[in-house]
Amino acid sequence: MNQIDARACVTYMEQLWTNWRPTDAETNFWCGVISIYDNEENVKRAIDEAKKSSDFSKPPAKKLNDLLRVHNMRQRAKVEQPEPTVFLFYEGGGLTKLQAGYFAPVIPARGVAMGEAIESMKLNVTETYGGMWKVYEQTDHSAMIKLRCEMRSGLVDEIEKEISDST
- What is the rounded average pLDDT of the residues 138-166? 67
pLDDT of residue 157: 57
pLDDT of residue 13: 93
* Structure confidence by residue, pLDDT tens digits, 91-143: 766 545 556 667 778 878 778 888 888 888 888 888 877 777 888 887 777 77
Return the higher-pLDDT residue of 100 and 3: 3
pLDDT of residue 107: 79
C-alpha–C-alpha distance, residues 150 and 67, integer Å: 42
Counting residues of the chain whose pLDDT is more than 90, the rounded percentage is 13
Residue 155 confidence class, pLDDT cut points 50, 70, 90: low
* Structure confidence by residue, pLDDT tens digits, 63-92: 888 888 887 777 665 555 566 777 777 776
What DSSP line would sit under 80-138, residue for residue? HSPPP--EEEEEESSS-GGGTT-EEE--PPTT--HHHHHHHHHHHHHHHH-SEEEEE-S
Is residue 34's pLDDT more than 60? yes
pTM over 0.75: no
Q: What is the mean pLDDT of the chain?
A: 79
